[in-house]
Structure 1
Amino acid sequence: MTDGALGLTQLFLFLIFIMLGFPIAFTLMAMGLFFGYLGMQERIFDLLVQRTYAVMSNDVLISVPLFVLMGYVIERANILDRLFRSLQMASGNIPGSLAVATLATCALFATATGIVGAVVTLMGLLAFPAMLRAGYDVKLAAGVICAGGCLGILIPPSIMLILFGATAGVSVVQLYAAAFIPGVMLAGLYILYAIGIAIVKPSVAPRLPPEEVNVPFGTILLSLLTSFLPLAALIGVVLGSILMGLATPSEAAAMGSLGSILLALVYRSFSWAKLRESVYLTARTSAMVCWLFVGSAIFSSVFGYLGGQELVEQFFKSLPLNTLTFMLLAQALIFVLGWPLEWTEIIVIFVPIFLPLLDDFGVDPLFFGVLVALNLQTSFLSPPVAMAAFYLKGVAPKHVRLEDIFRGCMPFIYIVIFTMVCVYVFPGIVTWLPSYLYDVPQTGGSGADVLAPPTGGFQVDDAPQLPSLN
């Protein structure tokens, strides 16, 4: 067997083991070490040490545990209930007000936590029963919660964008700026869909009774000031300090962690037991991310050393592709991979396969990263994996079928695809804010005109590409 065939066998067997349910991080390391020993002999153990040190000394990844800690502390601050109630009162006269309040709460809370499972679970316990009691269609209510809960992997400060930046060597700050408008746009389209379906089919989203709608303005204002404003201010300070260049993502994450603890103290929901639990969960999540990166670095280095990456590149170059068809093919493959795999596996294993091809087809990795982040929304919503659907099913009433949740997610998948088309046709949605803030050259025309990586501009917390053994 040639080295290239050995590399492709390594990739194929990895997919098989993942489908069987083996832990991804240790599967990556085991496959990398096994095939590396076949192709490199004892040098594979030197590679293991080098890659482990490179990952653990990567400054970009410092922000991951800090943002995770911020999310877990906020999750345990018990502010979700009052936030949902206040937004529900504020949107009482809007068609589909409960769905609108749920999506707005999900967007804000998902941005603060970035943990999809936590947001979907908590909103499944809080908003899902409220919508069902109000007579909402099960499919609409389920789709609203699942789609809204996934926004945290797109809207900054997103952990997924940090991992993409570390993988692709793209500035996390510029990624945040590039993803901000598409993230807000996607959340806005979700809300417009909820309002539109409530107008077209009032039976699926009935209006609330007058006693729940006619709330004095002073009560609504006071409720928003005590629930919405503090959390929005914390997110605004963290994200604003990053985008304005006042702090690196790591420094802003540290401020966010401290702010979340202060917020918990203000709401009188802070305790040492909750803090200890948050720190434990943060350590567990951070360890998973680090080992995932170590395994990915070993796996991808061995894959490249054996010639697997070169075979993939030759295959794509042999196809009659231009920039448009390459982007369509790449996003279609990522979309299909989202059915059986989670976004972490796609980011650390399959996205790096496409990265060396971006220069060949003249695609900016910043633009590509935002499209991938949008695309990965579908990995949480599309069966058979659809983790958001399984999170909701775990807390939903027994009469709610998993099939109903899947069907409820489908319209929101179409909205994601529509947003991707808009971003490709009008790339200024992605490039305008980085261009305005950091002097990054802005691209005109369609996504097919997106140029190679910009040079110069404002670079904070740049993540160098992990060195290759080739």
Structure 2
Amino acid sequence: MVGIIMFFAALIMLLFGFPVAFTFAAVSVLFGIIAGIIEIGFDDGLDVALIDGFEEGLLMFDFMPFRIMSIMQNTILMAVPMFIFMGIVLQKTGLAERLLESMGFLFGEIRGGVAISTVLVGALLAASTGVVGASVVAMGVISLPVMMKYKYNTPLACGTICASGTLGQIIPPSIVLIILGDVFQVPVGDLFKAAIGPGLALVGAYILYIVVVSFFNKDMAPAIPADPSRGSKSKQVIRALIDIIPSLTLILLVLGSIFAGVATPTESSAVGCLGAVGLALVYKTFSLQMVKEASLESVKITSMVFGILIGATAFSMVFTYTGGDEIVEHFMMSLPGDEKWGFIIFTMLAILVLGFFIDFVEISYIIVPILVPIAMNLDINPVWFAILIAMNLQTSFLTPPFGFSLFYLKGVVPATVRTIQIYKGVIPFIIIQVIVLMLIAFYPEFFGINPSTAG
């Protein structure tokens, strides 16, 4: 039971706000020593148990340098800093602003048009940047004032922006999918291909919800009058296409090279970096200062991810050493009903609840490695299971009280927008995500995913 107690001790410390990477590392060392003391026993006295147990507990950490070296040599994880750099460079080019302005005026004359354009721009940004915080902030700064000006319902406007910004979690190239590809030891390209259908389904579901709500309640999302200063409708369409084409080109370069088998995801991330710098040159926003700032931000975010990974590696090592994985496996296999579906339903509920409190990176590196061997024993397709987890983890960005998208948006909204309005606005989108998650679980063939490893 030492491993199970260790898990809940780490969770409690995270809820108190301790840094994630250091929490996992410190808890691992502490409970490794406790496990060593328990293994030595107290037959020869307390002093012997403490001294020998301390040494025994630290012995397992002799292999940590080899584990850290394997992380450093992992070619899959090399894509993480490059995709982050690509996203930050694109953010600094003003791509989001151009897309939102053009598409906002393009769809604005229909009810819910600005909200629909926000979802579409969110999907394009997800496929070209994948940086949730940047997408939410950009759309919050640009799109929200327009919606507020034309009397959009505040919760609907806030919910649309938060949900659209999180599309980068499921639509490739997604950092979550890269991490899960490493954890599951499956090709990231396979995950990218499998995520296209669920990602587009989520975009369609968001737009359908906005259309239905604005149809039955005209005051929720009124139409915006045409702006003569922007020229005729045909000119607006041409202007929108001019702003969209660079993003689509970059998406085709990155994802097309993967799907065509020309490049691996790691190699395509390098293509994406070059494409992002090229767009910066096209938009005349390129400068050495911009590259320096983007590089520094990329290093900070990447350091956070890899710091968590090293702490999580120590945690999982001690968890396995103390037999925690066997207890979890026994519990999962003894769930009532069908073993496979009992396991899937329980894990989805557990990840959904954990998403209320901790980040997707911690869940990916702490919880998921415990579940992977059990899924293999139950003959569950790892690609299908990874997509289910990725969709579930996306929800963690929206769930109150600690959803990151909520904090990102709250930081840029006017003082008149209350936190409770943001919370209210995301609830329908959380429900939509859960519905799409259930569809992927029960009808995976509809999304082109085989739920079994056989065949």
TM-score, with structure 1 as normaliser: 0.89
Which residue of structure 1 lines up, in the alignment, with residue 373 of structure 2? 356
For residues 228 and 7 of structure 2, the distance between their equivalents in structure 1, rounded to whole angstroms, comes to: 56
Q: Which stretches in structure 2 are left out of the alignment for 5+ residues?
A: 37-55
Q: Which amino acid aligns with 1:314?
A: H
Query: How far 1:418 moved relative to its partner?
Result: 1.1
Tell me if the contact between 2:29 and 2:58 (Cα under 8 Å) persists in the aligned partners.
no
1:413 maps to 2:430? yes
For residues 216 and 202 of structure 1, the distance between their equivalents in structure 2, rounded to whole angstroms, comes to: 26
Q: Which stretches in structure 1 are left out of the alignment for 5+ residues?
A: 433-442, 444-449, 455-470
Which residue of structure 2 lines up, in the alignment, with residue 36 of structure 1? 32
Which residue of structure 2 lines up, in the alignment, with residue 339 of structure 1? 356
1:165 maps to 2:181? yes
Give matches, 1:391-402, under 5 Å: 391-402=408-419
Give matches, 1:276-425, under 5 Å: 276-322=292-338, 323-425=340-442
Query: How far 1:33 moved relative to its partner?
Result: 2.2
Aligned pairs, how many? 434
Query: How far 1:261 moved relative to its partner?
Result: 0.4
Deviations 1:4-48 (A, max 9, x none): x21112111111111111111121112222222443433233122
Which residue of structure 2 lines up, in the alignment, with residue 426 of structure 1? 443
For residues 215 and 380 of structure 1, the distance between their equivalents in structure 2, rounded to whole angstroms, comes to: 39
For residues 384 and 333 of structure 2, the distance between their equivalents in structure 1, rounded to whole angstroms, comes to: 21
For residues 204 and 229 of structure 2, the distance between their equivalents in structure 1, rounded to whole angstroms, comes to: 22
For residues 225 and 123 of structure 1, the distance between their equivalents in structure 2, rounded to whole angstroms, comes to: 19
Q: Which amino acid aligns with 1:266?
A: V
Query: How far 1:213 moved relative to its partner?
Result: 11
Q: CA RMSD in A?
A: 1.6
For residues 81 and 454 of structure 2, the distance between their equivalents in structure 1, rounded to whole angstroms, comes to: 29
Identity of aligned residues (%): 38
For residues 28 and 67 of structure 2, the distance between their equivalents in structure 1, rounded to whole angstroms, comes to: 12
Deviations 1:86-139 (A, max 9, x none): 112322343211001111111111222211111111111110111000110000
For residues 33 and 47 of structure 1, the distance between their equivalents in structure 2, rounded to whole angstroms, comes to: 13
Q: Which amino acid aligns with 1:299?
A: F
Cα pair distance change 1:120/1:378, threshold 3 Å: same
Q: Which amino acid aligns with 2:6?
A: Q
Deviates more, 1:132-141 or 1:216-225: 216-225
Tell me if the contact between 2:126 and 2:172 (Cα under 8 Å) persists in the aligned partners.
no
Cα pair distance change 1:215/1:181, threshold 3 Å: farther
Query: How far 1:412 moved relative to its partner?
Result: 0.4
Give matches, 1:74-85, under 5 Å: 74-85=90-101
For residues 261 and 113 of structure 1, the distance between their equivalents in structure 2, rounded to whole angstroms, comes to: 13
1:153 maps to 2:133? no
| Greater radius of gyration (CA) | 2
Query: How far 1:280 moved relative to its partner?
Result: 0.3
For residues 293 and 228 of structure 2, the distance between their equivalents in structure 1, rounded to whole angstroms, comes to: 37
TM-score, with structure 2 as normaliser: 0.92
Query: How far 1:85 moved relative to its partner?
Result: 1.4
1:26 maps to 2:26? no
For residues 45 and 357 of structure 1, the distance between their equivalents in structure 2, rounded to whole angstroms, comes to: 25
Q: Which amino acid aligns with 1:452?
A: T
For residues 231 and 154 of structure 2, the distance between their equivalents in structure 1, rounded to whole angstroms, comes to: 27
Q: Which amino acid aligns with 2:281?
A: L
Which residue of structure 2 lines up, in the alignment, with residue 188 of structure 1? 204
For residues 161 and 453 of structure 1, the distance between their equivalents in structure 2, rounded to whole angstroms, comes to: 22
Structure 1: which 4+ aligned runs deviate by more than 6 Å? none
